[in-house]
């Protein structure tokens, strides 16, 4: 198999991003406090979500608002499979279908969680890919609400807003770094694949793409399912590290946070996804510190509750107004070091 020019450049770009991810992760592992490790881990999980989101939004250019729901499906499915029976007898005493009567190893549980997410994504995708623009976005919003309602009201399975606890904590920051690095290659590889290119063509001009033989619906479905599978992986990584999950983190605040990351960095590029995630992850930590009313140079500042929401919203408004393509626009990281003619 020979690689095209854009695939070779993609390989260079993905490797540069991988290097950055390994570097940040390694520094955190060796020098971070326990609290900081948790923050960095959280940013790597966010990165997985934003990369997954880029696969669909960046190539098909349809805004998706349901991604946190698919992350939640992956997280809960894995949690239900992997949590030891003794734990589930306590936390899910009235679970149906014998869900509290079995337990699987983490790998099998992860595979099952991915498969379940993929099947649900496929069924929803069959409806969603036929719509374009605002129609598809509204459907995705409805999916978010439906899934969240199920998480809340089937407390016998998901425990709703209470903690679903007892998930074996088998992941470390190293696991998250490895997964994020693999995802960078997968996501960039898809973008430069014949499917990614044809899908971007259809986003530029759907009619013209059809006239060139592009089956737009099938390619959108492919990107949608791939995106949801990667979201399931993010959900699994989240639950395998924290050991405790609940419905709240898979709802609107998380949708908005990760969307802001992708929009800030620039949704058309993988580099933008990485950049936006780290700027907002670490920027928000700093804002949260300001929220608590810190003392800076002997000057006591007042508590400003809700500042992080204001900042996040303002970032989206400003970037949309000033630079709708995000920080990166159409540029990937390798464009800064390779000549255009190479």
Contact set with other proteins (CB under 8 A): 4-6, 194, 197-198, 200-201, 203-205, 207-216, 268, 330, 340-341
* Closer residue to other proteins in complex, CB, 213/298: 213
3-state secondary structure the chain: CCCCHHHHHHHHHHHHHHHHHHHHHHHHHHHCCHHHHHHHHHHHHHHHHHHHHHHHHHHHCCCCCCHHHHHHHHHHHHHHHHCCHHHHHHHCCCCCCCCCCCCCCHHHHHHHHHHHHHHHHHHHHHHHCCCCCHHHHHHHHHHHHHHHHHHHHCHHHHCCCCCECCCCCCCCHHHHHHHHHHHHHHHHHHHHCHHHHHHHHHHHCHHHHHHCCCCHHHHHHHHHHHHHHHHHHHHHHHHHHHCCECCHHHCHHHHHHHHHHHHHHCCCCHHHHHHHHHHHHHHHHHHHHHHCCCEECCEECCCCCCHHHHHHHHHHHHHHHHCCCCCCCCCCHHHHCCCCCC
Give min distance, CB of 193 to other proteins, in A: 10
User: Which residue number, 74 or 196, has a Cβ lying nearer to other proteins?
Assistant: 196
Token pair of 49 as six digits: 């979500």
Q: How far is the CB of 222 from other proteins (least distance, A)?
A: 14
Of residues 71 and 262, the one with the C-beta less far from other proteins? 262
Q: Are 270 and 294 within 8 A, CB to CB?
A: no
Q: CB under 8 Å to 216, separation ≥6 — which residues?
A: 199, 202, 206, 209, 210
Nearer to other proteins, 84 or 329 (CB): 329
Q: Which is nearer to other proteins, 105 or 205 (CB)?
A: 205
- For residue 215, the minimal CB distance to other proteins (Å) is 5
Residue that has been written with the tokens 């540029």 in this structure:
331
Query: Cβ of residue 14: shortest distance to other proteins, in angstroms?
Result: 18
Q: What phi and psi, each to the nearest 5 degrees, are found at residue 19? A: -60, -45
Which residue's CB is nearer to other proteins, number 194 or number 288? 194
User: In this complex, which beta carbon is closest to other proteins, that of residue 105 or of residue 204?
Assistant: 204
State in angstroms the smallest separation of the CB of 217 from other proteins: 9
* Smallest distance, other proteins to C-beta of residue 198, A: 5
CB of 58 to other proteins, least distance (A): 11
Least distance (Å) from other proteins to the CB of residue 234?
27
Of residues 299 and 340, the one with the C-beta less far from other proteins: 340
60: Cβ contacts below 8 Å, ≥ 6 apart: 199, 202, 203, 219, 220, 223, 224
Minimum distance, C-beta of residue 47 to other proteins, in the bound complex (Å): 24
Q: How far apart are CA 67 and CA 64, in angstroms?
A: 7
Report the residue number, 300 or 339, with the smaller CB distance to other proteins: 339
């Amino acid at each position: 198999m020979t690689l095209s020019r854009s695939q070779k450049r993609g390989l260079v770009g993905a490797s540069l991003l991988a290097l950055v991810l390994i570097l940040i992760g390694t520094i955190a592992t060796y020098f971070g406090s326990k609290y900081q490790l948790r923050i960095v881990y959280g940013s790597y999980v966010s990165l997985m979500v934003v990369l997954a989101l880029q696969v669909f939004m960046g190539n098909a250019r349809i805004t998706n608002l349901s991604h946190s729901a698919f992350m939640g499906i992956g997280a809960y499915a894995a949690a239900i499979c992997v949590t030891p029976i003794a734990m589930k007898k306590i936390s899910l005493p009235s679970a149906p279908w014998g869900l509290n009567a079995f337990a699987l190893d983490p790998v099998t549980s992860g595979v099952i969680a991915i498969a379940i997410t993929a099947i649900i994504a496929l069924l929803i995708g069959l409806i969603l890919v036929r719509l374009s623009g605002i129609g598809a976005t509204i459907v995705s919003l409805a999916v978010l609400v439906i899934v969240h309602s199920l998480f809340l009201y089937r407390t016998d399975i998901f425990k709703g807003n209470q903690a679903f606890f007892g998930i074996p904590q088998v992941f470390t920051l190293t696991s998250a770094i490895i997964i994020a690095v693999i995802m960078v290659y997968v996501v960039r590889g898809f973008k430069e694949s014949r499917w990614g290119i044809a899908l971007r063509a259809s986003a530029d001009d759907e009619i013209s793409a059809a006239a060139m033989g592009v089956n737009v619906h099938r390619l959108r479905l492919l990107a949608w399912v791939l995106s949801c599978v990667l979201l399931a992986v993010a959900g699994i990584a989240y639950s395998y590290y924290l050991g405790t999950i609940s419905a709240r983190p898979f709802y609107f605040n998380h949708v908005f946070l990760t969307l802001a990351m992708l929009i800030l960095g620039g949704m058309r590029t993988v580099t933008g996804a990485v950049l936006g995630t780290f700027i907002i992850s670490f920027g928000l930590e700093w804002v949260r510190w300001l929220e608590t009313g810190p003392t800076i140079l002997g000057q006591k500042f007042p508590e400003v509750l809700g500042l992080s929401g204001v900042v996040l919203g303002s970032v989206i408004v400003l970037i949309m107004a000033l630079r709708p393509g995000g920080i990166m626009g159409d540029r990937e990281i390798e464009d800064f070091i390779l000549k255009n003619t190479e």
